[in-house]
Amino acid sequence: MVHAKKSLGQNFLNSKTVAKEIVRAGELSSVDTVLEIGPGKGFLTSELLASGAHVIAVEKDDRMIPLLSEKFADEIKNGKLTLLHGDILEKIEDGKIALPLRYKLVANIPYYLTGQIIRMFLEAELKPERMILMVQKEVATRIVARDKKESILSIAVKVYGSPHIIKKVPARYFTPAPKVDSAILSIENISAKSFQGPVSEKLFFDVVRAGFAHKRKVLAGNLKDLFGEKIISILEEVCVPTNARAEDLSLKNWLDITSMYQPQK
Known binding-site residue numbers for S-adenosyl-L-methionine:
11, 13, 38, 59, 87, 108
**Helix/strand/coil for 55:** strand
Assess contact for 123 and 93: CB atoms under 8 A. Answer: no
Assess contact for 134 and 184: CB atoms under 8 A. Answer: yes
* DSSP assignment letter at 130: E
Q: Which residues are annotated as a binding site?
A: 11, 13, 38, 59, 87, 108
| Separation CA 137–CA 190 (nearest Å) | 21
Task: Tell me how far apart the 2 most distant CA atoms of the chain are, in Å.
Answer: 66
Residue of 94, 88, 169, 173 whose CA lies nearest to 134: 169
- Concatenate the DSSP letters of all residues of 132-147 into one string: EEEEEHHHHHHHHTTT
How many angstroms separate the Cα of 239 from the Cα of each of 137, 155, 231, 259?
33, 18, 12, 14
